[in-house]
Chain A
Amino acid sequence: MDFDFTEDQNMLRDLAREFLTEQVSVAHIREMMEDETGYDKDLYRRFLGLGLIPFPEEYGGAGFGMVESCIIMEEMGRIPYPGPFFGTVILAGQAIIQSGDENAMSRYLPDMANGDLVVSLAFLEDSASWTPATITATATKDGNGYKLNGTKRFVPWGAQADVLLVAARTGEASGPDGISLFAVQANSDGVEATPETMLDLNSRTATVKFSDASAELIGEEGNAWAGLDRAIQRAAVAASAEMLGAARRAHEMSVDYAKVRRQFGQVIGQFQAIKHKLAEMLEQVENAHSAAYYAAWALDADAPDATLAASVAKSTANEASRHVCGEAIQVHGGIGFTWEYDLHFYWKRAKHQEVFYGDSDYHRERVLQEVLAGNVAR
């Protein structure tokens, strides 16, 4: 029983932190908010150049598991990094890996690992829910390929992606059966991406409309759900780590501020009203840490409670980061509400990730399903 990180994992964290804190300045984050593309391609390539890629080694990755993915995402949450690392490497990467389709892996992963390809997963539709019933986009056979129709919502970096992975129906059923995964070249005919502006200006999304777009099947027709579910679970855990990073950073800033901000002739951290708030926030941050890394380990170890743990992690991180980042603004008072102060970055990143890959209601329901099915650690 060892809950500590290995020496290699600590080195990985140091490497990621060093690069991100040195290269991704506050000025850069602010510049990217106004930028049309929303991220610096060169910087993105240089980060990938560090080799911290959680893909299998034969596809240009470092063979990392979920624990390593979470370490990287936690560090990104502390910045918070503006760019398509999560969307491409975690979300789309896992969608391809979990499909089990080796042709797709060798075709896409190496180029995703070196930054040549930005790939995203187009999953959500109007209902913005993560259950199979949400999928109504359709794909029909057309010669050697497929023609895809439908509208996908909130596609991460959907307007910047070179390739879109699309979940669509190839059968009549409305449940998990009959869902297939496709790759669509973003610049092909019948693909129309409309970028949207979200609360977190550094997390770009797009509505993507497919009208008879040419699509290439990944994995087996009609059998994509199980792999997609595994990929979304992993994205949920990695997002939990990103939210953890944002919450921990917001908490650190609040503690630092409470030690210097003076009111009524003393620093505000001396008042129990603030001190106790900061203590409660620490408890929540530590709980989010325990939950995110337990889940990451459980997924890597294929533990019987891995799905349960993933849902516990996401609902815990959702609540913790929302509360901690929000209370951080409260501790700062008026200054925390200004655009110039950096605190709102973390609050907004946490809020962004909270609603994707399952909100708390979704995951609490899933926890209960897993418990009733007996998929627990005992």
Chain B
Amino acid sequence: MDLRYSQEDIEFRQKVRAWFEENLPKKKIESFEERREWHRKLYDAGFIGMGWPKEYGGQEARPMEQAIVGEEMARVNAPAGVNGLGISIVGPTLIHHGTDAQKDEHLKKLLTGEEIWCQLYSEPNSGSDLASLQCRADIDGDNFIINGQKIWTSGAHNSEWGLMLARTDRRASKHNGISCIMVKMDDPGVEVRPLKQISGSSEFSEVFFSDVAVPADNLIGELNTGWRIAQTTLSYERGGNTLSRVSRLQTTLDRLLEVAGELRVDGTRAIDDPRIRQKIGQIYSEVEVLRYASLRLLSKLEKGERPGPEASVSKLHYSELDKRAQEIIQEILGPYGQQISGAGEYAFDESDVPYGEADTWAYQFVWSRAGTIYAGSSQIQKNIIGERVLGLPKEIRADRIELEERRKEEAAADD
């Protein structure tokens, strides 16, 4: 055990920190185009797609270097770049399963933010049970004809492309009839309708497809192997960069301590109230534990070990912790925690967040409810941990019973 950063890592961190001190935008990013420019700057500095192979425009950076950049960005509250899902999900999917032509066409543009991608996976009736999706892609000559609806599509309104999971074989069992297809978002028959979330803003959309013709060349991998392809890249979404989450939470707690030093409760400073001290001590401890756990995961990644289903423990941990932390912060701040505007001296910060909203206590509180739903809800993570880490038997589910019965009937018919 040696939890010191290596000299190389320390020097790398100094370089990264210096870069952000010099290049951090002086004024708030307002438009998507401004954010794209900032993204390009991050890319030129080597901070985008860091883990990607060099031949596709990446840096082949070590996990530790990626973590350091994530941490340093969070530390100075740097605006995020664009194309988060494109880089974390679509890129790796293409790298692992795409043809040379697909890679040449998209990977570089995806990294530089020239091509913005969204992920067309979830459907109104297929959330946690993603494999039950119904949006269909029927083969018609050299095209797929797509019909159906997707939902919870982050950034759909800014995207040029979408990575879609669609049903291409309706007779196969649900996992075996899905294909992974690239769809152009401005094709005729694609309609994007923004959804308003409980935060009041609209990062997500519903996307409707009516007889959208997509070239068959846009298929990724083999026909009907989309589920397996999605599985390999969904795990990229889980458990990856928790150190930057730690940094963000630490920034939040630093500000909480400042506010608690000013806010007066019953004539004394909040920070001198033993009940409040207990609460802050509690969250601070939990965030520290998340940091230790992140270092533990990072040390495995550095050795080339893939976290696999253990990443679910990490996802469960940070998303549930964020919810607990935000609840406690709200308890401490009372009505000040709920101010969306006019918060004045007790405000969190008016700085940037990924989608350009004001970063308030209230905003953080609202968003903490999303983390335990997206990228596999906490309940799904617990199933994964129970079944794939602890080796407990899979539950008896209605869809599995149906499948069994159908197979029996088919076998009987064959006889």
What is the interface of chain A, defined by CB distance below 8 A to chain B?
1-6, 9, 67, 255, 258-259, 266-267, 269-272, 274-276, 278-280, 282-283, 286-287, 290-291, 293-294, 297-298, 301, 308-309, 311-312, 315-316, 361, 363-368, 371-372, 377-378
Contacts of A298 in B (CB 8 A): 3
Q: Is the CB of B390 within 8 A of A312?
A: no
* A270 touches which of B5, B282, B291, B395 (Cβ 8 Å): B395
| A54 smallest CB distance to B (angstroms) | 15
Please state if B281 and A266 are interface contacts (CB–CB under 8 Å): no
Whether a CB of chain A sits under 8 angstroms from the CB of B412 is no
CB-CB < 8 A to B390: which residues of A? Answer: 255, 269, 275, 278-279, 282
Write the nearest CB–CB distance from A33 to chain B, whole angstroms. 31
For residue B287, which residue of chain A has the nearest CB?
A: A312
Contact residues of B with A, CB < 8 Å? 1-6, 9, 64, 250, 257, 271, 274, 277-278, 280-282, 284-285, 288-289, 291-293, 295-296, 298-300, 302-303, 313, 316-317, 379, 381-383, 385-387, 389-396
Q: Is the CB of A1 within 8 A of B386?
A: no
Among A278, A316, A367, point to the contact of B386 (Cβ < 8 A). A278
Among B381, B386, B391, B393: residue with most chain A CB under 10 A: B386
The reply to whether A294 and B3 contact each other, CB–CB distance below 8 Å, is yes
A323 CB to closest chain B CB (Å) equals 14
Q: What is the CA–CA distance of A255 and B284 in the complex, to the nearest angstrom? A: 31
Q: Is the CB of A294 within 8 A of B2?
A: no
Q: Which residue of A lies closest to B253 (CB)?
A: A371
Q: Please report the C-alpha to C-alpha distance between residue A312 and residue B291 in the assembled complex, in whole angstroms.
A: 11
A sample of 17 more A-B contacts (CB under 8 A), given A1-B64, A3-B1, A371-B284, is: A1-B295, A3-B296, A3-B300, A258-B392, A266-B393, A279-B381, A279-B385, A291-B292, A294-B3, A309-B288, A312-B285, A315-B285, A363-B285, A364-B281, A366-B281, A367-B281, A368-B284
CB neighbours (8 Å) of A361 from chain B are 278
Chain A CB within 10 Å — which of B1, B274, B394 has the most?
A: B1
Nearest 10 A-B pairs (CB), nearest first? A364-B281, A275-B386, A279-B385, A269-B392, A279-B382, A3-B299, A294-B292, A290-B292, A276-B382, A3-B296
Contact A1 B389 (CB under 8 A): no
A-B contact pairs, 20 of them (CB 8 A): A1-B4, A1-B295, A2-B3, A4-B299, A5-B1, A270-B393, A270-B395, A272-B379, A274-B392, A279-B383, A282-B313, A290-B289, A290-B293, A297-B1, A297-B3, A309-B288, A364-B277, A367-B281, A367-B285, A371-B257
B401 CB to closest chain A CB (Å) equals 13
Q: Closest Cβ of chain B: how far from A130's Cβ, in Å?
A: 15
Other-chain residue from B288, B389, B392 in contact with A308 (beta carbon distance below 8 A) = B288
- Bound-state CA distance A378–B284 (Å) is 14
Known contacts A1-B9, A1-B298, A364-B285; is A269 also within 8 Å of B386 by CB?
yes
Q: Which residue of A lies closest to B2 (CB)?
A: A2
Taking a contact as CB atoms under 8 Å apart, the answer to whether A1 and B3 are in contact is: yes
CB–CB A272/B395 < 8 A: yes
| CB of B374, distance to nearest CB on chain A (Å) | 19
Judge whether B295 and A270 touch: CB under 8 Å: no
B364 CB → nearest A CB, Å: 19
Q: What's the minimum C-beta distance from B356 to chain A, rounded to whole angstroms? A: 28
Chain A residues lying within 8 Å of B391, measured Cβ to Cβ, are 255, 259
The residue on B at minimum CB distance from A287 is B289
Contact at A312–B280, with CB atoms within 8 Å? no
Interface centre among A368, A372, A378 (most CB of B within 10 A): A368
Contact A1 B288 (CB under 8 A): no
Whether A259 and B392, one on each chain, are in contact in the complex, defined by CB atoms closer than 8 angstroms, is: yes
Contact call B2/A275, Cβ cutoff below 8 A? no
A301 touches B3 (CB 8 A): yes
Cα A45 to Cα B54 with chains together (Å): 60
* Contact pick for A1, options B278, B281, B285, B302, CB 8 Å: B302
How many Å from the CB of A94 to the closest CB on chain B?
20
Bound Cα distance A311, B282 (Å): 11
Nearest chain B CB to A208 CB, angstrom units: 32
A368 B3 Cβ-Cβ under 8 A: no
Is the beta-carbon distance between B395 and A271 smaller than 8 angstroms?
yes
Q: Which of B277, B281, B282, B379 is most buried by chain A, counting CB atoms within 10 A of its CB?
A: B281
Asked if B292 and A365 make an inter-chain contact with CB atoms under 8 angstroms apart, the answer reads no
Q: Is the CB of B284 within 8 A of A367?
A: yes
CB distance from A154 to the nearest CB of B (A): 24
A6: B residues at CB distance < 8 A: 1
Chain A residue with minimal CB distance to B64?
A1
Contact of A276 among B5, B257, B379, B394 (CB under 8 A): B379
Q: Within the complex, what minimum Cβ distance (angstroms) separates B305 from chain A?
A: 10
Judge whether A1 and B395 touch: CB under 8 Å.
Answer: no
* Cross-interface CB contact of B317 among A274, A287, A293, cutoff 8 Å: A287
Residues of B within 8 A of A259 (CB): 391-393
Nearest to B288 among chain A residues (CB) is A312
Query: A240 → chain B, closest Cβ, in Å?
Result: 12
Which residues on A sit within 8 Å (CB–CB) of B271?
372
State whether A279 touches B386 (Cβ < 8 A).
Answer: yes
Which B residues lie within 8 Å of A280 (CB)? 316, 382
Residues of chain B with a CB closer than 8 A to A297's CB? 1-3
CA distance A283 to B390 in the complex (A): 12
> CA separation between A298 and B313, bound complex, in Å?
24
A158 and B387 CA atoms in complex are apart in Å by 46
Complex interface: chain B residues within 8 A of A270 (CB)? 392-396
B208 CB to nearest A CB, Å: 34
Q: How far is the CB of B8 from chain A (nearest CB, A)?
A: 11
How far is B289's CA from A6's CA once the two chains are assembled, in angstroms?
A: 22
For the complex, what is the distance from the CA of A282 to the CA of B386, rounded to whole Å?
9
Report the minimal beta-carbon distance from A314 to chain B, rounded to whole angstroms: 10
Complex Cα–Cα for A364 and B274 (A) = 10
Residues of chain A contacted by B277 (CB below 8 angstroms): 364-365, 368
- Bound complex: CA of A309 vs CA of B4, how far in Å? 15
CA distance A294 to B302 in the complex (A): 18
Give bound CA distance, A308 to B390, whole Å. Answer: 32
Task: Determine the distance from Cα of A179 to Cα of B172 in the docked complex, in whole angstroms.
Answer: 77
Do residues A290 and B385 form an inter-chain contact, with CB atoms below 8 A?
Answer: no
> Cα distance A75–B6 when bound, in Å?
31
Task: Please tell me which one of the listed residues A2, A255, A309 contacts residue B1 in the complex, with CB atoms under 8 A apart.
Answer: A2
* A312 proximity list for chain B (CB < 8 A): 285, 288-289
Which of B4, B281, B382 touches A368 (beta carbons < 8 Å)? B281
Across the interface, which residues of B come within 8 angstroms of A2, CB to CB?
A: 1-3, 299, 302
